[in-house]
Amino acid sequence: MTTLGTASAEPGEVGTGRLHVGETRDGSPVGLPVCVVEGADPGKTLYVQAASDGDELNGVGVLQRALPQVDPTELSGTLLVVGVVNYYGFQQAVHRNPVDDTKLNRVYPGDPEGTTSERIAHATFQVARQADLVLDLHQGSTSRMIDEVRIRVSRRHRLHDKCLELAKVFGTGYVLDQKGPDGQLARAAPDEGVPTIDPELGGAVGFDEGSIQAGVRGLMNVLGYYEFLDHDVELAPQVRARGFTRHNAPAGGLVRFRADLGDRVSRDDPLFDVTDVFGTVRETVTAGEGGILWRSRRLPQVATGEYVCSVGTDVDEY
Ligand SMILES: [Zn+2]
């Protein structure tokens, strides 16, 4: 029998329950929703978590769509799933944990005696470290972004190639291969020997069905390739960026994009104009470096210096 919090499952069964991480301000227990899918046959363990950022719902959509399709009697190995990591942020549909104003994916591996975010990170990290592979489902928050997968360890990390392989298997078509900030699960778990990726499933307010389906395909690819399920997976070449350049607004006004998400841009190609409300172009911003238009703001209005878009640079294919 495998257990995760109050969820448990015998071989060939699915169990759901709660992973206790503390109490709310009125003393009510806080339990993250968890699921165990215990395969009829032995095999690897995959850990999947979603909504580490409380406004990033596409990963929850992936679990909601994909888990009913996984038949435990056909499965080899174990799936351990935490459906909502940022419990407090999810209640209010905000990115950070409002109790301690912290971004959860900056405090891994967490602290059992720490703040609410550190305690949640610790509790989920104890699950992640038991696994053979980890998927930490994210998205570009509520901005607009292509579907991509991030590798957050450095290229010199001993697990870099294993993470790169996992990203290729997930197979959204785009990979950002760039060491991430301290405290990310996709950095902390590889330090414990567990290959981990950070699929970034588009960007949306609420659900984006196209990005959710990309995530469902990615999860099913992982289950097939690593022999949890008996289906063949053909690996496709992935477009990889190793740099990421932010562009901010040089003037206040309204942004008008000159390239679409996913477009290849060359050095000095126009990325966007900033116009006044009467349509007069005040500034045009060009790509300082060639690459792929990767992410952009959702709302058109900007103040001087405000974030507008990001270009994935240093692009190749693997
Ligand atoms: Zn995120």
Distance 213 CA to ligand 1 centre (A): 18
pLDDT band at 206 (very low <50, low <70, confident <90, very high): very high
Q: For residue 10, what are the CA distances in angstroms to 37, 58, 70, 200, 224?
A: 9, 29, 15, 32, 22
Distance 275 CA to ligand 1 centre (A): 31
Distance 203 CA to ligand 1 centre (A): 10
What protein residues have CB closer than 5 angstroms to ion ligand 1?
A: 53, 56, 138
For 95-150, the pLDDT digits (tens) are 999 999 999 999 999 999 999 999 999 999 999 999 999 999 999 999 999 999 99
Residue position matching structure tokens 């911003």:
285
Distance 121 CA to ligand 1 centre (A): 14
**Token digits of residue 178:** 């760039």
For residue 295, give the nearest of 270, 312, 316 by alpha carbon.
312
pLDDT of residue 85: 98
Q: Exposed, middle or buried: residue 126 (CB in 10 Å: 0-12, 13-18, 19+)?
A: middle
pLDDT of residue 20: 98
Distance 136 CA to ligand 1 centre (A): 9
**Token digits of residue 237:** 């070449």
Distance 13 CA to ligand 1 centre (A): 31
Distance 241 CA to ligand 1 centre (A): 19
pTM of the model: 0.97
Q: For residue 4, what are the CA distances in angstroms to 15, 110, 232?
A: 9, 18, 29
For 231-274, the pLDDT digits (tens) are 999 999 999 999 999 999 999 999 999 999 999 999 999 999 99
For 151-199, the pLDDT digits (tens) are 999 999 999 999 999 999 999 999 999 999 999 999 999 999 999 999 9
pLDDT band at 15 (very low <50, low <70, confident <90, very high): very high
Q: How far apart are CA 87 and CA 15, in angstroms?
A: 20
